[in-house]
Amino acid sequence: MVEDQRCREKRQRQTVYGMDPQNLLEITNLTKRYRIGDADVLALDAVNLVISRGEMLAITGPSGSGKSTLMNILGCLDTADSGSYRLAGEDVSKLAGDQLAAIRNRRIGFVFQNFNLLPRLSALENVELPLLYASRHDAKAQARAALTTVGLADRTHHEPNQLSGGQRQRVAIARALVTDPAIILADEPTGNLDSHVGHDILDLFHRLNQAGSTIIIVTHDHEVARHCRREVQLRDGRIVAEVQHAPHHQTSTTKETTAAA
């Protein structure tokens, strides 16, 4: 009886969203072209990608392959020229600036290579910021909880320049987490860190992922990519291969996609 009801509800959700409810993110034939003067660059060439809830995924590829372009579109910072993008069941590909900003604030947490913290604010105030934009009255308590999650409960009043690089990135991750986003998007999150500090940050991402966060990491670094269960490789704006990485660096398997042919 209860099972019947669950199945019915699941079917209804599928009908409403028109997609499997486990698919957090679905992009289809996504294309993005940049034109400067006479030069035309096809930065994304009919990319298809489905990411499920709870995945930890790496997007890799050589410089200029389209990683940041894809990341910006996934993060609702930019839109594609054609193709569709559904995020948590909602078609966001046709939304205008304000609506896109609202989705971004509600559903996405960003982590950048250079941390992007505000220098005059304490760790706590930096983490609180996204909640103030969302007019949340419990902002301070939430920010404190997020800093505790990343292991910085004892650094709440430090300003960024009083923190190490790894600690700054933890503050940035706490800021990404505090709104409880559907996805955390990280662009080269360990790029400015020593390798052992980078490992700590990856361990933190693992813990967050095990606690249910969906995490997408853009990286040049194969070692970082190997920490993710799934790696999507881009080249010239196309997905050319997918690699499934076993936990703890067991043998990985690569599958060439049809786009590579």
Per CB under 6 A, residues contacting ligand ATP are 34, 36, 41, 43, 61, 63-69
| C-beta of 128 vs 231, nearer to Mg ion | 231
Give the Cα separation of 140 and 128 in Å (integer): 6
| C-beta of 67 vs 86, nearer to ligand ATP | 67
Structure tokens at 107: 């559903």
Tell me which of ligand ATP, Mg ion, none is bound by residue 126, counting a contact when its beta carbon lies within the kind-specific cut-off of 5 to 8 angstroms.
Answer: none
Q: How far is the CB of 94 from ligand ATP (least distance, A)?
A: 21
| C-beta of 32 vs 67, nearer to Mg ion | 67
Tell me which of Mg ion, ligand ATP, none is bound by residue 261, counting a contact when its beta carbon lies within the kind-specific cut-off of 5 to 8 angstroms.
Answer: none
Tell me which of ligand ATP, Mg ion, none is bound by residue 43, counting a contact when its beta carbon lies within the kind-specific cut-off of 5 to 8 angstroms.
Answer: ligand ATP
Environment class of residue 127 by beta-carbon count within 10 Å: exposed (0-12), middle (13-18) or buried (19+)? buried
Q: How far is the CB of 235 from ligand ATP (least distance, A)?
A: 9
| C-beta of 21 vs 64, nearer to ligand ATP | 64
Binding site for Mg ion (CB under 5 A): 67-68
CA dihedral 228, 68, 161, 157 (to 10 degrees): -70
Q: How far is CA 93 from CA 32, 83, 142, 217, in A?
A: 12, 8, 31, 21
**Under a CB-based contact definition with an 8 Å cutoff, are residues 218 and 71 in contact?**
yes
Radius of gyration, alpha carbons of the chain: 19
| C-beta of 226 vs 235, nearer to ligand ATP | 235
Tell me which of Mg ion, ligand ATP, none is bound by residue 181, counting a contact when its beta carbon lies within the kind-specific cut-off of 5 to 8 angstroms.
Answer: none
Q: Got the DSSP string for 118-154?
A: -TTS-HHHHHHHHHHHTT-TTHHHHHHHHHHHTT-GG
Q: How far is the CB of 188 from ligand ATP (least distance, A)?
A: 8
Q: How far is the CB of 236 from ligand ATP (least distance, A)?
A: 9
Sign of CA dihedral 226, 227, 232, 236: negative
Q: How far is the CB of 9 from Mg ion (least distance, A)?
A: 41
Tell me which of ligand ATP, Mg ion, none is bound by residue 41, counting a contact when its beta carbon lies within the kind-specific cut-off of 5 to 8 angstroms.
Answer: ligand ATP
Q: How far is the CB of 66 from ligand ATP (least distance, A)?
A: 4
Environment class of residue 61 by beta-carbon count within 10 Å: exposed (0-12), middle (13-18) or buried (19+)? buried
| C-beta of 63 vs 253, nearer to ligand ATP | 63
Q: How far is CA 235 from CA 145, 159, 216, 223, in A?
A: 40, 40, 18, 19
